[in-house]
Every structure is written in structure tokens, then in C-alpha cells.
Chain A
Amino acid sequence: RELSSESNIYIYCLNILVFVTLQQRDPMLKRDCFEDILEERRNSSDLKYALRCYAPVLYKGVTPCKANMLKNIVLQSDQLHYVINQVSQESGEAPDIIQEEASVILEEMAHRLQISTVRCFAFALSKAFKTLFQHVCVNEEGIQRLQQAIQEHPVVLLPSHRSYMDFLLMSYILYTYDLALPVIAAGMDFMGMKFVGEMLRMSGAFFIRRSFGGDKLYWAVFSEYVKTMLRNGFAPIEFFLEGTRSRTCKSLTPKLGLLNIVIEPFFKGEVFDVNLVPVSISYERILEESLYARELLGVPKPKESTSGLLKARRILSEDYGSIHVYFGQPVSVRSLAQGKVNRSTYNLFPRHIPRKPMEETQSFVNDTAYRIVRLQEDNMVLKPWVLMASLLLQNLEGLELSVLTEQTVWLRGLALSYAAFLDWPDQAPTAKVVSSSLALHRGLACVSGDRVSLVVGEPLGPVTPEEALFNRAVSVLSCASYRNQVLHVFLRPAMLAVAMLHLSDEVYNCFSFLWDMFSNDFILCPGDTVQDFEEACYLLVKTGAVQMPQQDIVMTDIGQPTLSFFNGLLEPFLQGYQVVCRYLCEEASEGLTEKQYIPAVRSFAVKLILAGNLRCYEVLSSDMQKNALAALLRMDAVRKVKVADQVTLIVNKMAVNSIDDILGKNRMISHINQTPISPSLSLVAVAEDLYRDGLTPSYIR
């Protein structure tokens, strides 16, 4: 057993590393204080505020440049001319015509930032925020750092994205602090909202099509437009790394297109540096809460329309708690790239000719994207309710209020020792904290007698079992969106806990299997398996849940509650993935198309739940289903084949079965049409099989 002895040596070394890790993590714990920007709004005139003198500092040496001038620079750029000529040669159209096309694209895309619109928004949003939220808190030190950064180098603002509110909120805050207003990359779907779309455009949004894969001209106009703004220091550029709003409150796997565009000018030497500023926006209650849950359950997302937004007025009467916006430390691309990317490889190719980024660059950008999202996660503010939701979801039948309170206090201690950014009201007695959280989220949890349980929307009149199930699923998924907020804190030790409870002999292999499996569901930086394992060990040792005598990892006497909580935390994901595997092995027909996949898994799961064989509602979430499929595709257990216009999924039942088997140890789902599973198929064998070639963790090699 070569593998095993090497992992033992590794674990031995780990004891030494623990100290180093401790030192590395500590600076991260220093976080800034918050100021409530609504406080002043409640005490002074909104009109005066909207009309006040606004004179932000700009990127050094830059002369402010009008939006129209910007368009001209783009249309006259060598970069665009090159592509126009190329497209013209390929299509046979005259360059003038292509140039005209480019100009139309740019017209459709470009923002028309003007201060008067911003002032309108400042006024309207002040009113709206005061009704909706108790506090809008901002870390002012972060604002100061940003102000400094804006003057030194081009700045890219990278906020987390969990609500439509995000970019209005960002611009509002920057206006409040007299900072340069950002230009914001927004999806074209907003343009559908006629009036609002134009308003957004005039407050700095520019619109990009959701997909333009092969369209060279579109890409050229778009990337040159963004780069021109960056190079000229026109304004901070803002976009969402996650690409779309996260419906689950988990961070999404970052998209790289725009990040590639804003980083390239640095590699080409066109700017000295680019500062990436992660911004974490945490909502105590998300406006779209139940909307998201329904969407995940298969009710299609309503097309953005102005009337839809007006209907949203209904929400104005509700209390949405507080928002915390944390501006992280600016990250210098130059420092990040030091030693990773050799810029001189750009020396031998004309800079105006578009080129696919080199492998080295691609992996750097990918890595950077993940790191930024993790920085966003690190500074997400967690409310006590997040902890309570995590506990409630592990006790769907409900909990005694006193037990919930007691466990919440316990979980609070655990979260704090894992460096969670917890906003726990100082001095307030615990019971008060718990009850006010329950009050704010009365739509999700109710207290009847002494018992706290999830609310199930009381239907009017008789309902079918499916409808009842659906109602319950909405509240579970809504609740899960709060639990998800704390997952990034607990994820690594939780995976280790699951690995330990599975098979304590081969803990690392099991950890690494889970790590790989879940890398679509969670933000796990590529190549960081070992580091994450170290972190997990460190954290569990730190809280006394495990010990690492010599060459082993063992649970301590006091570790049981922690490990079983962690196990319960990941249980829905393990079950969800398992259901998907089951479906693919047992139910899926030959020629299953990608389109049919989600509804088919959903009805399979509904059947299981109704039959009483499954108690996990989260598997009904399309998000989980997609992530599970992506994992199986990545692990080569499923392949995509394009037949005619359809994409068909080819299932390798043997492989899927083995994965199911690993997940299935100790799982609660009882088999239907139980297929006998070879007992000889041990975890290690499967893991070894899965980690052939490229998948082998580097330290094992």
C-alpha cells in the first residue's frame, strides 16, 4: 500500500505545518469596522444629499473623458481596425459596412454616464433603502483604501452578486463617499426594461449580450471598449465575477471572460498595474428569497420587465434587516503575477492582434478569479440566523427553542474559532438574539409552543401530495440559502469530517475525492486540495475535535458533536449527488438529452420523496442537479455527445455506480430496485481509479 504510507508521512509533516498555517491565517482575521450610511440619511435632507457637490478624485494624471470621446477612441483603435479588416476579408463585405456594424454594436453597448441621473438615483434609493433596510453598513477603511487605489492604478470592482440591488447599491455607496462612479458590465436582459434600462445606462451600466461565442466583431468591440476605459482610467470598472446572481447564496464558480479582458492590458504593458477590489455584499434578508427558491424548483425566471419591478413594490412594506458592504484589500495584479506569468512572452506578437491567452496566463487568470471569490467569501458578514438555519435544516421535524438557542450558542463559538465574520449583537442576551432573528425571518420559521420549525406555506383548500411537497421544498430551499452562507467557513473541516466518518484509514484520499466531487458546488481553488486538507486538519485540531498523534487523524471524545454537525451539514449534498447517480444508473434511458436531464431527475426525486425513501428536499434544486452532472462529466462518468441538434448524455454506469457507492456509505436512502453492489469495490480502489493520470494529487506523485 504505497499510497497509504505516503499519506501517513504526509500527515506526520502536517503537524509541523499547522503552526505555519496558523501564522498565515491570522492576518486575515483583522477586519475593519462598519459605519451605517443610512444613519445620516435619516437625519438630513435626501434632496440636499442628491444635489450636493460631487467631485471625485480620478486616476492620476487623467483628464476626464466624455462618454462620446471614449466611443471614438474605441472605433479608431488599431485593435478594432484589425478585426474589422479580418471580418471584411472573411465575409466579403466592405470594411465600411463592418465599421458601421461595429459602431452599432458599440452604440447598443456603451454607457452614457451622467451625473444628473446618478443624482436621481441617489434620491430615490435613499428613500427606498430607508424603508427596506434597518442599516446599510460600509467599512470606511475599505473606502479609504479604494480611494487611494483609484488614484494609483486602474481599479476593477468585483462585488459578490446575490441580488439585483447589488449594482445600484455599489454606485450609491461610491456616490455617498465621493468616489469615482464605476462603469458596470450588465447583462443585456436589463435592456428589456425600456425606461429602467436607459436609466441604468445613464448611471454607468453598459450592456453585453449573454452569449456571443463566435462573433469576432462583437468580442473585439466589447473587449476594446472595456480596455479603453481601463487604460484611460476613465472610471473604475465593475462586473460580477460570478456572472449571474447566485440563487443559492453560495458563491458561484467564477467566469473568466471579463477578468481576462481587464488583466490583459497589464500583461501587455499598457498599464503599470491593475487593482482588483473584491467587494462582499451581505444581505440579512434577500429581496429575492422565495423567488430564487421557486426558480430553483423549476419555475422559470421571470423575464426582467419594468412592470415586474413595479410589482416588487410590494416588498417595500417588509423589513429586510441590514446590508453589509465590505470593500476588501485591493489586490495588485502585478504582485499576483510576479513569478507566475512571464510578461516577455507578449514581446513577440503585435499587441493589437487579438490572441487567445497562453496556457500560463489562462491558469493565472483562473487562479486569480478563484482567489478573488474566496476573498469575497471571507468578508461576507454572517448573521445569527445563518447559524440557526444550519441547525434547523438538520432537524426538519423541529427543535425545542431552548435546544436551538443552546446549539446556536455552541455553533457561534465554533464559527468564531473558524474565523467566520459573524455579526452577533454585542451585549444582547442570547435568547433575545435568537428571538429577534426568528422574528425577522418569520416567513421561514415559526415558533409554536416551545418548538421551532420550518414554516410550510399553509395551502388554501386541499392540495395534491406533489403540491404539498413543492411548498415544503420552497421553505427548505429558502432556509438552505441562509445555511449556504456559512458553508465556506465550515466546508473544509466538514469534508474532512465526512471523510473520517467514512473510512478513517484513507482520510486524505476520501477528502480529495469529495473535494473534487464538490468543486462545482463550492469555491475550491484549483490545485489547492492539499492546502485545503491542511486547513481542515488545522481547524479541527484547533477546536479539539480531532487529534493528530504521529501518523493518524483521530476523533477526540469531545469531537463527536462537531463532526456529526459537519456531517449533517454536507448530508444534503451527499444525498443529492447520490440521487443523481441513482437516477443515471437506474432510470435514465438511452439517449437521455441534456435538456431532459433536470426535469427527469426532479421527477425521480419527487417519486423517491413521496414513496418515503428520501427525506432530502434540496435535491430538487436545479442548481444541485447541474453541479452534480458537471462533477460526473468532469470525472468522466458521464459524457456529452452531440447528436444532430441535441446534446445527449452517455452514462458510464459502472463509474457512476462506484461514485454512488462511495457516497452511499451510511446514507439514509434505501434502494429501490436494489442492484447488488460488489463488496470488493472499496473506496481506495475507486479513488485510485479516479485519480489516474491528471487527477492524481500532486503530493502523491
Chain B
Amino acid sequence: MASDSNSSESQRIAQQRLRIIAGHLQKHKDDDSGTIATECKAEANKGTVPRKRQEIMKWNGWGYSDSKFLFNKKGQAEFTGKRYRLSGMVLPSLQDWFENTFGASVNHKSPATPALNASAVPPASLNEAFVEDLKATGIPFSHEAEDRVFRAHGHCLHEIFALREGKKFERVPDMVVWPNCHNDVVKIVELACKHNVCLIPYGGGTSVTSALECPPEETRCIVSLDTSQMNRILWIDEKNLVAHVEAGIIGQDLERLLNESGYCTGHEPDSMEFSSLGGWVATRASGMKKNVYGNIEDLVIHLKVVTPRGVIEKSCQGPRMSTGPDIHHFILGSEGTLGVVTEVTMKIRPIPEYQKYGSVVFPNFEAGVACLREVAKQRCAPASIRLMDNEQFQFGKSSFKTLPFHLCKGIYIFKGFDPHQLVVATLLFEGDRERVLQHEKQVYDIAATFGGLAAGEDNGQRGYILTFVIAYLRDLGMDYYVVAESFETSVPWDRVLDLCRNVKERINRECKERGVQFQPLTSCRVTQTYDAGACVYFYFAFNYRGLADPVHTYERVEHAAREEILANGGSLSHHHGVGKLRKEWMKESISSLGVGMLQSVKDYVDPDNIFGNRNLL
């Protein structure tokens, strides 16, 4: 029967998709989840994230506690754990790269404080009446120091650095609540309004904009509203290809659960292992495969948001409406200042039949950018196309040089390319097989006109494997006096090259002027293409030995780099958001009238500033 064969076909696809995900993302085991007892729900919680996040995740670094880079006794880099394809592997040449790039040494360690000193955490100042009322609802909460500190930060350099150094936080949430469903959130927000308590929504905790930092001047009780337990897919509508999902679900769970039904969202931000659907909405997230699936604003069909004034939602799920300015756009990018996103209806797609990686080597960055521009012009961008500059190429080369799996010598045989100039674009094609192959040819043909040479599937795939482990690398650097951070922007095509060059130069110059004793690493890549421009992602790292206050130095340099971005026609942010880190440029970015418009929405929706994280405005 047709329907039977369809479902077996979709199961087959689901299996394949699972393998792919398991392959390049992590070795996920079902028994990792399910460890949390659900209190008020009949069905078992399938989420990865337990209420006590610190049980599986680092309290002072990126990702899972069991996964980290370290230099072993032989001085060789190693990635621990079992979750990733790199797990358990030795990367012998990483040390050379690390020492040569930063002037660092594996003998000069800057170890982190081993455990959180609970006594250094400011005591919880609780609103007793609120706590009493909350108890009556049965919604779980905690005011243990570890829980509170975990939710007092995102992953900005200064936040992680402070944790590692055991520095005291000026202000942390006074308590954490874990709602299980939309109605729980409604109750919490009502109580917060009633008792004038400050609420800070917390999703995946992967913010890099100081968005989760508690305003030090906040005197009310601060309650961190952790959405991690609201992580179910409530229904899937195959006729309209949409799914209705609780907003606390994290990317990997969403993808895994949809895959079980033969679907995917295709939304894959680099943080998807940990970041949540609600967080994506609140920051206007972008996924690496947006060329096929769209960014979060293209994926959202319907939102349910609990605000101090009540619940915002639309009355239907029409795919497009002309009903005045789209109210979704007040929520998309609101960064937790208006309310909590509880449920999202979003587009889903059948898992693609075929997936193929690819890579192209260009003689220099200019040629690479020209090629990406042409690809965007012809509107034939693959699901993902990223151009890494030479610095990243050097890094990729070193980290993979002697890896046991599929060593492709390809890159070294491009005679005539200056190894200190050449750059690599990595590609990911998705769709039915025939079309993928056709598409692939089209892109390689364009690349050839810019001097690009195909460099194999493996090189492409490696680039994407690195995506998920690169965040772990920063922790390794910090063990050896190296601080690092990334930031991003979007910029019109004609200014991409000038912006990249000037920002790198500005960073180098600022570092020199601020007494950084070693040449910093500045690197960029073009990660997204649009009709009218591109998203550029910068990495910046330096050896801070000899600096009294490396974090301050780092922040000044990043500040200067952002000014340079704005002066060169780049935007304040493409997808990270504004948080508190970039608030000062909001007026300049969207005009004071624009700020006023946003402010008036805030004033209407949340007159008592219950959602008092003070992001954005």
C-alpha cells in the first residue's frame, strides 16, 4: 500500500538522518536523557537538559563536563569523552599551532578554580510572599547557590573568565524556577506581577551578549525562569508541515524528536546542541542552513508569549498576513524584555534524501568572496556555504593533519597557491540526489571562474565537525593564558573585503596600543550569503601573559572592533543580538526614534519592568 511504503520510506530517511546527526553532532544516547523525574506530566521528559544542569555540563566552561580539550603528558592535544567524532582522539600538531600562533607554551598553565565557592555567591534575597504563593502552585524551584550562579551568566569571555578565576558575582538570580508548561509560566508571571518580582527568562544559556547578566542595580528579588523542562513537541501537522513545540526545547532534542517522525526544521545554529527554541526567537537566531530553510523569522508561523499584560498570540496560522506590522517582530529579537515565549508553531521539512559535503580552495580571500557573491547573485547557494580565511585554514590544517580518519592530501597539492594566502570554502548540499549533484556542479563551475579548485568532500565535512568543538577550544586556551571570543556582523557585499581587512587591522593595532605582548590571532569567515550582503564572523584571541587585566583589555579591543565594524558599514549584530554588551550603539543603529518605538512597546507590555534584564534598550 502506498501509505505503508511512504511511512517505511520516511522511516528509512529518518534512520539515515539520525546517522548523519549522530555522526557529525554527537554520539547521543537515549539514556542520557530521561534522568529527570517529571512531577506534573504524565509522559516522560525526553529532554537532554536536567534541572541540575551542572550534573552534565561544565559550570565554568562550554558544553558537557566529560568533553574537553587538554594537552596530555606528551604535550599532545586530546579531546576527551565519547560524544563527538573527535572524542578520544589525539591531535598531535595542535600544540605546535597553538604555541606558534599565540606565543603560548604548554608549560605555562593558568588553571581554573576547581569548584564553585558557594560562600562567594551573594546570599539569595527572597520575596517570601512570592515564594509562598509559588509553593502553592507546585512548580519546582531552587535557591541553591550552584543553580543560581549557573543562571547568572552566558558565555561571554568576561563571564567565563570570572567563573574560572573564582571572582565574586555582583548580582546573581535569587532563585530559579522550572515551569513545565505554558500554564505554569502564566502562573509564575502573574505571581511576579503581584509581588513585584523581577523575572529573567533562561533558555539554553548560550548568550554571548551579557543578556543573562543580572542588572546589579536591581533590588527586587530576581527569579531566573528556566524553560528547559518545557521541551515537548506538542503536535506535528504533516498536511501543513508545521510542528507545535514548547519553547524550552533545545536544538538537538527538537531535531532528534522530529527526525523520529521523518522531519527536521533545518534550523542549525552553531549552538544548537544547547540553545533553545525560545532563545532563538528572542534573539532572531540564524542557522547555518538558512539558504534552504530560512532564518528563525522565516520558520516561525505562530508564537505564544506570556507577558505581564497577558498572553500574546495570533488567531490563525495563515502563512502571511497583512494585518499591520507583524506583532511577531516585536517578540523576535526582544531578548526577554517583554515576556516568555512558551510555545512556537514552526515550519518543518521532510528529512532530505541526500546530503553531500564539499569544499573549494581559492588562491586568496578576495577570490573567495567574489565567488560567494556570484553564487548569491545566481541564487544557487547550497544549504550552507562558508568561506574561511587563511588563518582558519591554517588552524584546520594543523588540527587535522595527522588525524587517523580519511586524510585527504588534497589541500597540499594545489601548486601555485600561496599557502599563506589560500582560503577554503566549505559546502553542504541537501535535497534529492540528482538535484544535489546538479547543484554541486553549478557551484563548482562558478568557483572555477574565480580560480577555485574543488578540494573534496572530507575537507568540507571537517569544517562542519569543527563547528561544534570550536567552542571547547576556548576553554583550552584559557588554561594557557589565551583568551578568545567571536563576534559577528552583516554587511553589504561591496564592503565585505574592506570591513574584514579594517577590523583585523584595528584589532591588531588596538592590541599593540593596549600592551598585548603577543601578536593576536584575528580571523574571519563569511558564514552566510544573502542577496544584498553577507554575514561575517570574526574570531579573535590573544596570549594575555603580562597583562594586569586581560578581560578589560579584551573588552576595549572588542569595543574598538565593533566601532570599526559600524564605521565600515557593518551591522551591530547579524544573529547574536544586542543584550547589554552592545546597548550603547542601539541609538546609532536604529535611530533614537526607533529606540523610542521599541521603548513604547516595552512600556505598554511591561509597565513595571517585571522582565527586568535590561537588554536592548
Contact = CB atoms under 8 A, between A and B. Distances in A.
A424 interface: no
Interface string B578-604: 000000000010000000000000000
Contacts of B350: none
A343 B567 contact: yes
B498 A344 contact: no
A269 B566 contact: no
A269 B505 contact: no
A209 B566 CA distance: 38
B494 interface: yes
A343 B564 CA distance: 9
A269 B494 contact: no
Contacts of B506: 272
Contact of B498 (A270, A342, A350): A270
B501 A347 contact: no
A346 B569 contact: yes
Contacts of B567: 269, 342-344
Contacts of A272: 501-502, 505-506
A268 B588 CA distance: 18
A66 interface: no
A25 interface: no
Interface in B491-541: 494-495, 498-499, 501-502, 505-506
B588 A344 contact: yes
Contacts of A347: 569
Given A343-B568, A344-B569, A269 B495 contact: yes
Interface residues of B, number: 13
A344 B566 CA distance: 6
A272 B501 CA distance: 8
Interface in B201-258: none
A264 B499 CA distance: 16
Contacts of A350: 494
A459 to B, nearest CB: 65
A682 B498 CA distance: 59
Contacts of B505: 272
Interface string A259-273: 000000000111010
Contacts of B499: 269
Contacts of A343: 567-568
Interface string A269-304: 110100000000000000000000000000000000
A612 B569 CA distance: 68
A344 B499 CA distance: 12
Interface in A332-370: 342-344, 346-347, 350-351
Interface in B548-569: 566-569
A347 B568 CA distance: 7
Interface string A309-350: 000000000000000000000000000000000111011001
Given A343-B567, A344-B566, A344-B569, A269 B502 contact: yes
A351 B502 contact: no
A268 B566 CA distance: 12
State the main secondary structure of chain B at its contact with A: helix
Nearest to B421: A61
A346 B506 CA distance: 19
A344 B589 CA distance: 10
A361 to B, nearest CB: 13
Interface in A660-696: none
Contact of B494 (A342, A344, A351): A351
B283 to A, nearest CB: 23
B149 to A, nearest CB: 39
Nearest to A352: B494
Contacts of B568: 269, 343
By CB atoms of chain A within 10 A, which of B495, B499, B506, B567 has the most? B567
A272 to B, nearest CB: 4
Interface in A235-276: 268-270, 272
A660 B569 CA distance: 53
A347 B572 CA distance: 13
Contacts of B495: 269, 351
By CB atoms of chain A within 10 A, which of B499, B501, B588 has the most? B501
B425 to A, nearest CB: 22
B107 to A, nearest CB: 33
A245 B598 CA distance: 59
Contacts of A269: 495, 498-499, 502, 567-569
A346 B568 CA distance: 8
A351 B495 CA distance: 9
A269 B567 CA distance: 8
A233 to B, nearest CB: 13
A665 B372 CA distance: 74
B564 to A, nearest CB: 9
Contacts of B501: 272
A343 B498 CA distance: 13
Contacts of B566: 344
Interface in A177-228: none
A351 B588 CA distance: 21
A260 B498 CA distance: 20
Interface string A376-414: 000000000000000000000000000000000000000
Interface in B79-123: none
Contacts of A344: 566-567, 569, 588
Contacts of B494: 350-351
Nearest to B569: A347
A343 B566 CA distance: 8
A268 B501 CA distance: 13
Contacts of A346: 569
A132 to B, nearest CB: 44
Nearest to B589: A344
Nearest to B495: A269
By CB atoms of chain B within 10 A, which of A272, A350, A351 has the most? A272
Nearest to B570: A347
Nearest to A231: B498
By CB atoms of chain B within 10 A, which of A268, A342, A347 has the most? A347
Contacts of B502: 269, 272
A341 to B, nearest CB: 10
By CB atoms of chain A within 10 A, which of B494, B566, B569, B588 has the most? B569
A234 B501 CA distance: 18
B140 to A, nearest CB: 48
A344 B506 CA distance: 16
A268 B499 CA distance: 10
Nearest to B499: A269
B11 to A, nearest CB: 51
A25 B505 CA distance: 32
Contacts of A351: 494-495
A270 B495 CA distance: 8
Interface in A120-177: none
Given A270-B498, A344-B569, 8 more contacts: A268-B498, A269-B502, A269-B567, A269-B568, A272-B501, A342-B567, A343-B568, A351-B494
List 7 A-B pairs, minimum CB-CB distance, nearest first. A343-B567, A269-B568, A347-B569, A269-B498, A272-B505, A272-B502, A344-B566
14 contacts: A269-B495, A269-B499, A269-B502, A269-B567, A269-B569, A270-B498, A272-B502, A272-B505, A342-B567, A344-B566, A344-B569, A344-B588, A346-B569, A347-B569
